[in-house]
Amino acid sequence: MLKYALFDLDGTLTDPYEGISKCLEYALQRMGFKLHDDYKKFIGPPLTYSFENFCGMSRDQSLQAVKVYRERFSTIGLFENYLYDGIPEVLQFLRLHKVTLAVATSKPTCFSQRILDKFNLSQYFDVIVGSELNGERIEKSEVIKECLTRLNVSQSDLKFTYMAGDRKFDMSGAVKNGITGIGIGYGYAQGDELKESGATYIVPDVKSLLSLFEKLIEN
């Protein structure tokens, strides 16, 4: 049975690579750091995590880099983003079958809302939960927990609740909150991270995601 479906945003509903990569280059240049050779790994984790672990920044430097990154992202970068083919049909199908939907993303809520509005996706979701610009709730497990709270998901309904996301942070966050992880193979997962972080299912494309939801509803 499927009652609740939570979705990551970047790499799951939309492809944000162009905007994120350009904003990362903008921030690194402004901060005087060498440009990175693989921006794909930056998609999914909190920005502070990425700047510290992939660029060797200190905590203070990473916080400053996030501010610089958002100078471009808040006006240009968030709209350099593309909807994956078939996503509206997936969401329409789930709503038709009375599944309650939510977005659970590490991206700040204010940016996430604008991106979803751009693609006319906000209408499908009961709640949209992201991080806060002040640095609160950046861990994916915290975002998922807040989603479950706002949706009033009972303890007994956790087994009917699923989290679809393309990075290990989505899967480990799902496991930590007692819900089932659906790994998105068409996003930005690195190697076997989805399986290793606890994904119960892994789908290679949007069509397969829809087929999985059809099976879960039938059961």
Output the CA–CA distances (angstroms, integers) from residue 164 to 10, 79, 203, in the order listed. Answer: 11, 22, 10
Indicate which residue of 8, 10, 15, 166 is catalytic: 8
Beta strands in 47-197 (DSSP E): 82-83, 100-108, 127-131, 161-165, 180-184
Q: Is 85 a catalytic residue?
A: no
**Nearby residues of 210 by Cβ (< 8 Å), 6 or more positions away:** 86, 89, 90, 93
Task: Tell me how far CA of residue 58 lies from CA of 26, 35, 65, in angstroms.
Answer: 18, 17, 10
Distance between CA 69 and CA 50 in Å, rounded?
A: 12
Q: What are phi and psi of 58, to 5 degrees?
A: -75, 170
Q: Which tokens hold the place of 161?
A: 């609740």
- Identify whether the C-beta of residue 28 lies closer than 8 Å to the C-beta of residue 35: yes
What amino acid positions are annotated as catalytic residues? 8
